[in-house]
Structure 1
């Protein structure tokens, strides 16, 4: 009896700790850091990138399809424009660092991001019969709002990590948890809101995050700087020096070869998402998934992405870059074959229902995509020399975002050339086949990736020595991206 009681007490303590430990952890972060910074992470990462980002993806697809009634190839082209504000992340970072407003580096840019996003989302939701070009500009406004807020909160996180270095991993964990949980909730809720409110009215929910970003701009803690005119000249000199250092660094083969691989691997991965989405929801040619189930599919994909991160963290961190990226790309190509089989409806031939098979296909795609993406992110950080790690990392992320944009536009061109329309999906299987063949062809480019392990130094010693000898003013340059993203 005593042993049973002890076991029950241990179980109760374990369950109780699952509730109390996160609360204690958040309380510790709020105590050692400014609580407004923790609140900012919840607003920008959780509500902004997580919830609003996932809601944006699903609701925008239905908006272009059911309200604007555009062809999938046209929508694919429009979606590519969403990435333009993220291509400009280095510019947003330089603006927040080098050009304060009334002595504040962060507050004005939170306010600007919130204002742009609130106006853009409200216009989309309230304006009837909005022209397609005007709607695209509003979507660009929402994307720009997320990008500017992302860069600004990253600068705040960087400052907190410098001041309290022991909490840097905790801040990253908080960012990842907020983003992942927000995305899961956003995907689950998106189908419900589209069904109940309609795609256009549901876009009004995108105004919630930027509205709270405006509030964040008023309450976030920030010291006011003085002597801006003297500082501005110094900052511009530092920016010029760093641009020259980045150019010299990118010219090393150890840097440009893996950078070229990452760009080509992303750019050649042509996306046919919009054609696939139209086929998903078509009542005649496709499986005719409901709005709620489409949200559930993406939510399952979000969980699969988290599982991919866990697999990489627990199993794959010790493998060499070239071997890991080769097998990850191979698995990614194989996961695309499942998509092709689904379009051909061969799953029904072997007796697997559409609702079950799409879960398998989405999970496989998201897991292998994350296994492919994580080592690229680690490789990017290893390519950054000390002294210019912030600006160089921002440049690499800009290159990667350009590759993603080209993949969207390339997929739109492919859908157009194969005459895949709102109602004609005859050649969708061919588009998927071409996409999968390109995925396998990317394996031939893996020779550009170094054979070194993920903990080994990639850069020549003279590169790091040169940049660390340059003096950097921490107070004026805070562009150290703690958390790299394209994912929109």
Structure 2
């Protein structure tokens, strides 16, 4: 196996394990089912709860700063990566042992695994940038990551539907544990990283990288566009789940199969993206991001039953792939040397915060106006992001 294929394999395997363990994890549909059916959450309440437990994904620069400036046992990545996986694993054991009683306890218990998985995700992204940029294979590694997490998503959605239907949330969480543990030997035996001889030298490198990043107009413009693009009213998971469960009376198994169909479409989209889109100039890429998002959203105007659902979930996932992958590639290109982990984490946090804010706004619109008007409003708002494209400075050709 040559070095590039090895890097792609490791990146893909990590994201597969991450998807199975906590992003979203085998227990995610069970959690949504518990909140809506046992605690009576509506769309906006589910969006709020999802926002709270994803806060660790919105402060990802903190993990990057620590890893860039304070190596643990001589390593910037490996040691913290193992620590993050241990936090996630121990958190799942605590959830299983302690049980579930109140909304507050649910929040406290589920935010801990998010800390572990989110911190590990930052370090994987940093490793991808540090190793991939010199070989000019960052986009290929990202494609491998998203292909693998989509495979995990297919498994999660099919199995997760049955788990939500027939198992308790506590036992569903326990099923995510082995995959969190598997990340540790993968890190120990597969990841190569040179030891950092001087903590002071590492901190100085990170400081210089951040200073350079703060002066980058392209980086600020990229961050502004990524936030505003993602903060538009979303047809996100909370709204879709409530609509499917309460309005359409879909079973948990059917919802699982629908999400599986979306992941199959996503995999096909990733393959098409790798074949046709990775060499596009940034200017054209950004325009396609907006067009892709608009077409993906407007498909849901026809979402009325199981048959239309399968077609829409499959088609919108393929169409919307550029809206998923394009911003990640643009963010990766904007990262300066020696602060890759911190800056890429910052941009991912901007995306995550924007998406969760968009989910909350979507919940606000859905409850008084219904699903159809949410689709219309979402499509109009996403279309308006075309006028935000000047925020990002363009290169005439792909670097």
TM-score, scaled to structure 1: 0.70
1:115–1:390: structure 2 CA closer, same or farther, 3 Å change rule?
closer
1:328, 1:368 within 8 Å by CA — same for their partners in 2?
Answer: no
Partner of 1:325: 286
Partner of 2:314: 363
Partner of 1:246: 213
1:258, 1:449 within 8 Å by CA — same for their partners in 2?
Answer: yes
Structure-to-structure mapping, 1:109-120, within 5 angstroms: 109-120=80-91
Q: CA deviation at 1:255?
A: 4.4
Q: CA deviation at 1:160?
A: 6.0
Does residue 262 of structure 1 match 2:232? no
Partner of 1:442: 385
Separation in structure 2 between the aligned mates of residue 257 and residue 226 of structure 1, nearest angstrom: 33
Partner of 1:280: 244
Which stretch shifts more, 398-407 or 43-52?
A: 43-52
Separation in structure 2 between the aligned mates of residue 430 and residue 375 of structure 1, nearest angstrom: 27
1:62–1:327: structure 2 CA closer, same or farther, 3 Å change rule?
same
Separation in structure 1 between the aligned mates of residue 315 and residue 125 of structure 2, nearest angstrom: 31
Q: Residues 237-288 of structure 1: CA distance to partner in whole angstroms, max 9, x if unpaired?
A: 3332222211111xx3x44334422221111243453233122123xxx332
1:184, 1:299 within 8 Å by CA — same for their partners in 2?
Answer: yes
Does residue 182 of structure 1 match 2:152? yes
1:85, 1:143 within 8 Å by CA — same for their partners in 2?
Answer: yes
2:53, 2:110 within 8 Å by CA — same for their partners in 1?
Answer: yes
Separation in structure 1 between the aligned mates of residue 298 and residue 137 of structure 2, nearest angstrom: 43
Structure-to-structure mapping, 1:79-228, within 5 angstroms: 79-155=50-126, 175-215=145-185
Partner of 2:365: 414
Separation in structure 2 between the aligned mates of residue 316 and residue 61 of structure 1, nearest angstrom: 35
Partner of 1:12: none
Which gives a bigger RCO, structure 1 or 2 (Cα 8 Å, sep 6+)? 2
Question: What root-mean-square deviation, in Å, do the aligned CA atoms of Structure 1 and Structure 2 show?
Answer: 3.6
1:137–1:106: structure 2 CA closer, same or farther, 3 Å change rule?
same
Separation in structure 2 between the aligned mates of residue 391 and residue 113 of structure 1, nearest angstrom: 16
Q: CA deviation at 1:341?
A: 3.1
2:70, 2:203 within 8 Å by CA — same for their partners in 1?
Answer: no
Q: Residues 401-439 of structure 1: CA distance to partner in whole angstroms, max 9, x if unpaired?
A: 2322322333344346x2xxxxxxx73333333222212
1:161, 1:167 within 8 Å by CA — same for their partners in 2?
Answer: yes
Q: How many residues align?
A: 398
Q: CA deviation at 1:306?
A: 1.9
Does residue 398 of structure 1 match 2:349? yes
Q: Residues 123-146 of structure 1: CA distance to partner in whole angstroms, max 9, x if unpaired?
A: 334444421111112221122221
